Amino acid sequence: MATPNNNNLIVSFGEMLIDFVPTVSGVSLAEAPGFLKAPGGAPANVAVAVSRIGGKAAFMGKVGDDEFGHMLAGILKENGVDGKGINFDTGARTALAFVTLRADGEREFMFYRNPSADMLLKPEELNLDLIRSAKVFHYGSISLIVEPCRSAHLKAMEVAREAGALLSYDPNLRLPLWPSADYAREQIKSIWDKADLIKVSDNELEFLTGSDKIDDESAMSLWHPNLKLLLVTLGEKGCSYYTKNFRGKVDGFHVKTVDTTGAGDSFVGALLCKIVEDHTILEDEARLREVLTFANACGAITTTKKGAIPALPTTEEALSLVKGT
């Protein structure tokens, strides 16, 4: 694979935390005999996903000045992710999430954040030079829940937009973290029309539209005039894509699913890694379908192991799955 151009930087903004994943699937947290400690947090997963397939990634966020926080910063460094955007909070801990793995590999979450370091990132702590050097600026919605992180998020988006970056948004809904479903919906949509690229899951589509239909009409109700690409991921069924000029569906890959954690982040990382090299892919349906097939393969492979970051694939692994079909 060609070495990405130095200015093809993807900056991922938001939370990084520790996931505690049960050693056995299909049991409640109380029934779990033990837990595996795994680095997590969707924006951090995306950064590592980009780096794993040869892209240039940086992470921006805040962790605790504690053993877990330094461990997470170390994991990003080991995985080739630029850590110049990481802040350490001396007064708050790194966030923890206990993840229940159901028998089908889907998850339920219990969070420990009262408040955690990621929630306390302030606008004045942002590394503005790093943001301005991004060709793609990616973020979620968890950083919108409380101040001061919400203001930091909005400032970072504004600086990235002014510098000409492509803005990429994956709401990554985690309802237990929000005060209410209505507030979650309102805040997630509050920055909707700023994004160039939006990816939602089928469940998020239902949540945001209030409809139980996963179809083109429902998806297009989320369209906004400045959007370049809207994606709806459909689990093992693949994804649907929508642009100003074309729309369609790309099938997924059938694999033995163990844990779906990080699959969407792997998909997003793969997509951004290709788009950052050439934005015109967004206007060429044949090439976009190729990229989405590759992204689907990355997402599928990520479900075959426990935890997100350890399961993220290399380019070779993803291409092997694509060619094996």
CA distances to 82, 179, 186, 210 from 182, in Å: 36, 9, 6, 11
Which among 158, 157, 183 is positioned nearest to 169, based on CA atoms? 157
E strand residue ranges, 116-172? 136-139, 166-169
Which residue is listed with tokens 């520790």? 18
Contact (Cβ atoms closer than 8 angstroms) between residue 14 and residue 143: yes
Determine which helix (DSSP H) or strand (DSSP E) holds 217, and give its type and residue range.
helix 216-220
265 catalytically annotated: yes
Q: Which residues contact 311 (CB under 8 A, 6 or more apart)?
A: 259, 261, 262, 266, 301, 302, 303, 304, 305
Contact (Cβ atoms closer than 8 angstroms) between residue 137 and residue 131: yes
Contact (Cβ atoms closer than 8 angstroms) between residue 311 and residue 257: no
| DSSP state letter for 13 | E
Marked catalytic residue, from 118, 251, 265, 278: 265
Q: Which residues contact 3 (CB under 8 A, 6 or more apart)?
A: 54
User: For the sheet containing 17-22, what is the strand order?
Assistant: 35-40, 17-22, 96-101, 107-112
- Using CA atoms, how far apart are residues 311 and 306, in angstroms rounded to an integer? 7
- Using CA atoms, how far apart are residues 136 and 7, in angstroms rounded to an integer? 10
Determine which helix (DSSP H) or strand (DSSP E) holds 322, and give its type and residue range.
helix 315-323
Contact (Cβ atoms closer than 8 angstroms) between residue 217 and residue 232: no
List the catalytic residues.
Answer: 265
